[in-house]
Structure 1
Amino acid sequence: MFTPVQSLFGGGLLFISVTSLAAYNGKVAGISGIINNTIFGDSAPWRRAFLAGIGAMGIMLKFIPQLSGGHSVPAFPFSIGKAMAAGLLVGAGTKLGSGCTSGHMLCGIARLSKRSIVASATFFATGAATVYFTGGVPPRYNTVYPSKDELSKLILFITAAASTFELLPAMIKKKARDSTSQSIVGFLTGLTFALGLFLSGMTNTEKVRGFLDLTRPQNWDPSLLMVVAGGLVPNMIAYQLFLKKKEKATFNSRFDWPTKKDLDSRLLLGSALFGIGWGLCGVCPGPGLVTLAANPSAGIFAFWMSYLLGSGAAGYV
């Protein structure tokens, strides 16, 4: 179903999260990179805090129905075999291709990175092709708007998130070392990011696959376009007009932007593999973490075990 308003507000929360992480910590909110570096790399405290924030929001969505408006994070609906195949492809693909929808689309395209533009085009194309060849989604398109109470809650979420991150430097700058400040920012941006994923519909695998079902107009769900409008577009404006001109981040002496610029075979192959896995089950790393915390099942556990296997193996390629 098409949820234009909800997805727009969810995209807005994603924008606030990734822009705040960049402005304060000088870091890119590439979820696959954060996961891979936490498991296989330096495991920096801010990364662990970010992932803890995602997990905490997933648990809150499960046990605090008022927060989720009575809706729950949908169960992972695929078989263990399909979950393992998707996890392996997503894990290997994001490692080889240096990112997924968050790092390449939300953050990379905002910086006008050629690598991210090519990667995004590749995984969207292969994702759409995978959905087409695996049968698409059921034809039950309709548009759903929020009630007045739900709209009030969406406005409250956006206002609270924007206010918190606007006031954050004044609240913690003189009370904590930069490493501690980065962890606080990491946790809060993780919380906000997870809520944005939920509200936007990206934790709903059918909505994601519905967006990729481009060849069947009666099935197509354009909700993720509203995520682009609410998340990518303002992030691009913020980067080009603000972040690009800052000499250093608030709690970091530099900005850790990706430096690779070449369009190599690893980027193309990795993006294609990720797109196939994404199209197969409609889940990428960020939404997959929220689902793992909010609605654990054998299927989503199988996805993550296979993801780590794929990512670890691709590190040797």
Structure 2
Amino acid sequence: MFTPLESSLGALLIQAATSSYMHLEGKSIGFSSILYNSVFKPSVHSASILLGLFISSGFVNKFLPSFSPAVVPATISTFPTSYLVAGLLVGAGTSAGCGCTSGHMLIGLSRLRWRSFVATCTFFLTAVITTVLMGSFRVDPRGVPSYEYDHSFTGFKENMMLLLALVVLGQLWSYIVLPRIGLWLKHKNDKVPTTRTSLADNFVRWITGISSGFLFGTGLCVAGMTDTSKIIGFLSFWRPASFDPSLAMIPLFCIAPNILLWKKWLPQTKAEAIFTAAKDGDATVTVKKPLFESEYDLNFSEETSLQFLLGNAVFGVGWALAGVCPGPGIVTMFTEINAFTVGRGVLFVAGFLGGSFLQKHVLL
């Protein structure tokens, strides 16, 4: 079922999360690296965002249950090995391909990176082909074509006040309140001769990561990205009766606004990441840097090697196999943990970590 309104609101939450974190901390939110590093290379960056996702899963389950990922426990008789296999392929593919839907599609396209455009086209194409070959056609249980939508906007009306409050408060918090709190804390901290890893600085990092993770996780649920049938439906665009265009709202309300903002905020080349000289012979140097850090932590490589292309192709296969990518997989896993059960999210994440580890340390 096409849910343009709900998916648009979810996309706005994701936009606030990605843009705020980039503007304040100077880092991207790429869940393939965040998930891997949280286990093998823990840091405030990965831990804080994952904590925010964990909080969002509980929040959605409690206050927006109609958007919460379905909990389907795995049993011995119906052990869904496809999620393990999908996680393995996604883990190996994103490791070799240097990113996933969040890192390449949401962040990379927002930065207008050619490499991310190539990656997105590659994994999307292989995902569509895999969907065709597997015959994974989403058919609405009521027999309604996926491209049709609920004219009464039931999901939105049932949660209208909370959804609108989340979007408005999320934007105000991300662009006005949090920057002021962070700058105030850092200003107070700068008056005291301490190291860069002071308690105040780390507190700012934690609160920024948690809030971005919360908004991102909630946005994934509201947009429908944790609903595997919506993913498969979106990948079935070639078959009108099964096509669900809901996720097309993500580029429209997340990527497009980020392109406009990041063109102004972010350095566009590696040289600009160090400094941007003022025009007209002015000796003053203008430095483009995030609000809370001294420089942006960005990748400017445009290399599209064979391994890079094959990695993204493998990721596309795994994505289509289960309809899950790293971000939604983590949120689904946390939902299952809150329900004290093991299901597709836990299996997917376990497979992902195994696939990433194998690619980095065995396959290379």
* TM-score > 0.5, shorter chain as reference: yes
Aligned twin of 1:156: 165
TM-score (norm 2): 0.82
Structure 1: any 5+ residue segments left out of the alignment?
none
> RMSD in angstroms over aligned alpha carbons?
1.8
Q: Is the 8 A contact 1:76 1:300 kept in 2?
A: no
Structure 1: how far apart are the matches of 2:139 and 2:66?
25
Aligned twin of 2:28: 28
Q: Which moved more, 1:291-300 or 1:15-24?
A: 291-300
The DSSP-based 3-state class of the residue aligned with 1:173 is: helix
Query: Cα distance 1:298–1:155, how it changes in 2: closer, same or farther (>3 A)?
Result: closer
Q: Is the 8 A contact 1:24 1:182 kept in 2?
A: no
Question: Percent identity of the aligned residues?
Answer: 34
* Higher Rg: 2
Structure 2: any 5+ residue segments left out of the alignment?
141-145, 187-199, 269-286
Aligned twin of 2:330: 289
Question: Once the 2 structures are TM-superposed, how far is the Cα of residue 69 of structure 1 from its aligned partner?
Answer: 5.5
1:234 equivalenced with 2:257 (yes/no) = yes
Q: Is the 8 A contact 2:333 2:344 kept in 1?
A: no
Q: Which runs of 4+ in 1 moved over 4 A?
A: 76-79
Q: Is the 8 A contact 1:178 1:252 kept in 2?
A: no
- Equivalent residues in 2 for 1:144-183 (5 A)? 144=150, 145=153, 146-165=155-174, 166-175=176-185, 177-183=200-206
Structure 2: how far apart are the matches of 1:76 and 1:286?
18
* AA aligned opposite 2:307: R
Q: Which moved more, 1:126-135 or 1:202-211?
A: 126-135
Structure 1: how far apart are the matches of 2:30 and 2:164?
26
Question: Once the 2 structures are TM-superposed, how far is the Cα of residue 79 of structure 1 from its aligned partner?
Answer: 4.7
Query: Cα distance 1:111–1:70, how it changes in 2: closer, same or farther (>3 A)?
Result: closer
TM-score (norm 1): 0.93
Q: Is the 8 A contact 1:76 1:291 kept in 2?
A: no
Q: Is the 8 A contact 2:57 2:68 kept in 1?
A: no
Structure 1: how far apart are the matches of 2:79 and 2:251?
30
Q: Which moved more, 1:101-110 or 1:78-87?
A: 78-87
2:289 is matched with which residue: 229, 236, 248? Answer: 248
When the two structures are aligned, how many residues end up with a matched partner?
313
2:298 is matched with which residue: 238, 241, 257? Answer: 257
The DSSP-based 3-state class of the residue aligned with 1:75 is: coil
2:69 is matched with which residue: 69, 73, 81? Answer: 73
Structure 1: how far apart are the matches of 2:321 and 2:157?
36
Question: Once the 2 structures are TM-superposed, how far is the Cα of residue 265 of structure 1 from its aligned partner?
Answer: 1.4
Aligned twin of 2:84: 84
Q: Which moved more, 1:152-161 or 1:142-151?
A: 142-151
